[in-house]
Amino acid sequence: MNKRNLIAAIAFFFMSAVSYAQTAAPIKIGYTNVDYVMSQMPESKQIEADLKAYSAQLENQLKSKYQEFETKGQAYQKGAATMTDVVKADKEKELMNLRTSIEEFQKNADVSLQKKQQQLMEPVLDKLQKAIDDVAKENGYTYVFNSDAGYGTTPVLLHGPEDGNISDLVLKKMGVTPGQKPAETPKATTPAATTPAKDSKSKSKGKKK
């Protein structure tokens, strides 16, 4: 759904809500900034640390594979002149297999890191949802929207009164004091050894000439 359609859908919802409110119980609407709330949660710092540690582990494994490729590539270059055609072909095949292994590991590492993030975030999101549900029930909110526009998304709520913002109430419900120095929103990052893996392609091509 593009932004124009989203705005139209929201407008339709509010028009329907107003119409319904004239014949039924009053509707109370609140909203919260999910990104803000999560940045205040102590779990965010731990998730960030865990993701960095996991990413470093993958990065070290990738570097180890690249170093093996470099070592065997250098040995091939030094001894290529004295190798028989059979030995040379075998060494070139080994280097190609190592390069493929590096590329596959990097792709799998990206997927693994994303899964790790989802695994770490799931209990935090469940906790956040429960707190939102509890605050909504305790304060009589019929609907609660998300005003967060992070990660390139369009917020569900484009405007609302400040007294409808339940973000601090949600934090207090979870035992967090609002207004603390926010932690970085946990994000999965690709292992830093991406460039060497790409460089290996050009080096391998050079060896085959």
Domain that holds residue 194: 3-208
Average pLDDT, the chain: 80
Largest CA distance in the chain: 92
Query: In the chain, which ranges are E strands?
Result: 29-32, 143-146
What pLDDT score does 206 carry?
45
| Tokens read off for 113 | 């890191």
Q: How many domains does the chain have?
A: 1
| Tokens read off for 147 | 């005003």
Could you tell me which residue, 52 or 179, shows the higher pLDDT? Answer: 52
What pLDDT score does 194 carry?
44
pTM value is 0.63
| Tokens read off for 35 | 């990104």
Tell me the per-residue pLDDT of 112-161, one tens digit each, with 9 for 90 and over.
Answer: 999 999 999 999 999 999 999 999 999 999 989 888 765 555 667 766 77
